[in-house]
Chains A and B, each alone.
Chain A
C-alpha cells in the first residue's frame, strides 16, 4: 500500500514542488535583498546642543568593492540609500595626495614648470573604467623668473597643481611662486589641445592671462615680498591665495579678470620663513580648500606647527568677505584623522555663522595590535565651531567596523585595509 501512495504522490509532484521551490527562493531572496537598508546609521550627540544641525546636511558614502551606501545626516535623522554593484570591483578611488593628480570635475590634472623657458605645462585626462583616456595639454608662457638661479631646481610654495582652478569648462592657472621670483605673474586661462593626433607647436592654441600682477616687491628687501599659495574657485569666481607682508590675502576675481575685492588675515606666517627663532604660530603652505558653490563659501584649512588647523572661511556671494577664522583641533590621544590630504574624507564649511567640520577619523586603542595601521576602528565625527569655540560634537555610528571583526584575536603584522573587502567612508560633504 505504501508503494501506491508514493506512486500517487509522484503523479502530481512536479508542479507543487516547482511552485514551492520558486516561492521559497523568492521569499529568501526578497528578504535578503531588502535587508540592504538595515544597517546601523545612528547619530549620537556627544557634546553641545544639536540644534546647530538644523538646515545642515552632512553626507557621505560607505563603500567597499561590492556595494555603496550613501548617507545623509540631518539633525538626528540619517537617511540611507544602498546600491549593490552587479559585480565586485576595485574602483580606482581618487584621494588627493600631495603631488598626485588633482581632480577637478571629471578631469585629472597635473602641472609642471620649466623655469628656463618660463613655460608651464598642464596635462589633463579623464578616468573611464579605471583607464586614463583623452589626454589633453595646455601650455602657458608666464614671465616669472627666479631671482637667484639654482642648478636644475626650482622652488615653489606648493606643488604647481595648487595653481589650477576650474569654473565650468574654463580652466585657470597661476604659478605658485615664492619670494624668490621676479617678473609678472598672472591668472592664465588655459587652452587645451588634444595630444593625439599630433598638433605642431605653432598651431596650438595659446593660453592668455585674464589678469597679471607684479612680483617686483620680491626684489625690494624692505618689503615683505609676495608669495602665491594657489588658486581656487568658488561659485563661479576665482580666489587667488597670497601671503604678503605678514598677512594671508585672498583676492577675488571674476572669470574675465575683474577684481572683486580682497580679504586679509593678519598676522599670518608661513613655516620656516622667520629665522629669528621665536616660537610663534606658523602654518604649512599646503593648505586644503573646501568650496561650496551653492553657498559661495570657501574654507581654507592650514595645518599649523601647533598641530591644529587654522581654518579661514570666505564669503564670495557678493564681493570677498572674511567670514570666520577658527583654530580647530579635533585630534587627541585617541582620535587621529584618516589622512592628511584626504579631500574626500573630510569637509569643512561655514554656514549660518558656524563652522562645520566633518571628518573620518581612526580611533587608536592601547592594544598589542596598536602599531598596525588600518586595524583601528573608523569613526565619522562632526565638530561645529561658533566664534572659534567648539559648540557641538557628534558622531555617526555605522557598522563599518564590523569588517574588522575578523582581525580580532589575529596577530599577523602584515594587515592591510583592502578597500574591496573593507568598507571606507568617501565623498564627505556638508551642505
Chain B
C-alpha cells in the first residue's frame, strides 16, 4: 500500500503542473467565452437561456480540446519515462508488483480527469452566476430565469453527458471515461512492446463511443436504453481487456 501511495504521488507529480494549467485554463475559458457571448446583452436584446449561451460560446468544443490535451499529457508522461533519465528502467526494477506500477499510473490519470471535470463544473457555475448577476441588473430582472441553474443542468444535453441523471447514464459516462483512460495507456504500452496490431481494439471502441455519445447528446430521437446498456457492457469489457493485457505486457517486460 505504501509503495502504491508513493508511486501514485510520483506519477501524479509528473502530471501535476500540466493538469493544473489545464484546469485553470478551462475555468478561465468558460468565464471569458460566456462573457464574450453576453457582451451585448441589454434590455433590448434577445436573451437566450444560459445552457444555450454556454453551448454557442463554444465551451463544449473547448472542453473536448482540453480533454484531448489531458490525454496527450498522459501519453507524454508515459513516453517521458523513456526519454532523458530513462526512468522506466528504475520503475521496472522497483521491488513492487507490476500491477501496482500499472494501477498507480492509472489512478493518477483518473484523479487528473476528476480535476478537469471539477474545473468544468466550476467554470459552468461561475459563468452562470456571472450571467444571472448581469441579467438581474436591468429591466427589473424580467429576463431572470427562476431556478435557472437547475434548469440549465437538466436542459443541456452536454451537461447531462458529463453530469448524468439516472444509474444507466452514470454508468455510461463512467464507461466512457474508463475506456479512454485505460485505452490511452494501453495504446502506448502496445506501441512500446511493438504489438501495434492491438491498437485496432482502441480504434474499434471509438465506433461505440461515437454512437453512445451521439445518443447521449441527442436523446430525444436516438436514445435507446437497451443500446446504452449494450454499449456500457462492451466498453467495460474492452476496458477489462485493456487492463488485463496492459498488466500482461508490463509483467512480460516487453515494454522496455
- Are A and B co-members of a single complex? yes
Q: Interface residues, chain A, CB within 8 Å of chain B? A: 7, 10-15, 17-18, 21-22, 24-25, 28-29, 32-33, 35-36, 38-40, 64-67, 84-90, 399, 402, 405-410, 420-421
A residues in contact with B111, CB < 8 Å: 14, 17-18, 21
The listed residue (A10, A32, A89, A421) touching B149 by CB distance below 8 A is A32
Q: How many contacts A-B (CB < 8 Å)?
A: 120
With A25-B117, A86-B165, A399-B147 given, is the CB distance from A408 to B125 under 8 Å? no
Least Cβ distance of B226 to chain A in Å? 11
Question: In the docked arrangement, what's the CA distance between A87 and B111, Å?
Answer: 27
A residues in contact with B143, CB < 8 Å: 405, 408
B residues in contact with A421, CB < 8 Å: 155
With A21-B114, A35-B150, A399-B147 given, is the CB distance from A86 to B169 under 8 Å? yes
Within 8 Å of chain A (Cβ to Cβ): is B47?
Answer: yes
With A65-B220, A410-B46 given, is the CB distance from A21 to B153 under 8 Å? no
A residues in contact with B115, CB < 8 Å: 17-18, 21
With A10-B13, A14-B12, A24-B122 given, is the CB distance from A66 to B47 under 8 Å? no
Do A39 and B163 touch (CB < 8 A)?
no
How many of chain B's residues touch chain A, expressed as a range?
Answer: 35 or more
The listed residue (B150, B157, B164, B166) touching A36 by CB distance below 8 A is B150
The listed residue (B45, B118, B148, B168) touching A409 by CB distance below 8 A is B45
Identity of the chain B residue whose Cβ is nearest the Cβ of A10 in the assembled complex: B13
Do A88 and B150 touch (CB < 8 A)?
no
Least Cβ distance of A105 to chain B in Å? 26
Q: Interface residues, chain B, CB within 8 Å of chain A? A: 5, 8-9, 12-13, 16, 44-49, 52, 107-108, 111, 114-115, 117-118, 121-122, 125, 142-150, 153-155, 157, 160, 163-166, 168-169, 216, 219-221, 223
Least Cβ distance of A88 to chain B in Å? 5
Do A13 and B147 touch (CB < 8 A)?
no
Can you name 28 A-B pairs with beta carbons within 8 Å?
A: A10-B13, A14-B13, A17-B12, A18-B115, A21-B117, A28-B121, A28-B122, A32-B149, A32-B150, A32-B153, A33-B150, A35-B147, A35-B149, A35-B150, A36-B150, A66-B154, A66-B155, A84-B154, A86-B166, A88-B160, A88-B219, A88-B223, A402-B148, A405-B142, A405-B144, A408-B47, A409-B47, A420-B220
Least Cβ distance of A283 to chain B in Å? 41
The listed residue (A11, A18, A87) touching B223 by CB distance below 8 A is A87
Do B145 and A18 touch (CB < 8 A)?
no
With A21-B118, A24-B118, A87-B166 given, is the CB distance from A402 to B146 under 8 Å? yes
With A38-B147, A87-B160, A88-B157 given, is the CB distance from A28 to B117 under 8 Å? no
With A409-B44, A409-B46 given, is the CB distance from A89 to B220 under 8 Å? yes
Least Cβ distance of B136 to chain A in Å? 12
The listed residue (B47, B49, B146, B169) touching A399 by CB distance below 8 A is B146
**Most central of A17, A22, A64 by chain B CB within 10 Å:** A17
Least Cβ distance of B107 to chain A in Å? 8
Identity of the chain B residue whose Cβ is nearest the Cβ of A25 in the assembled complex: B118
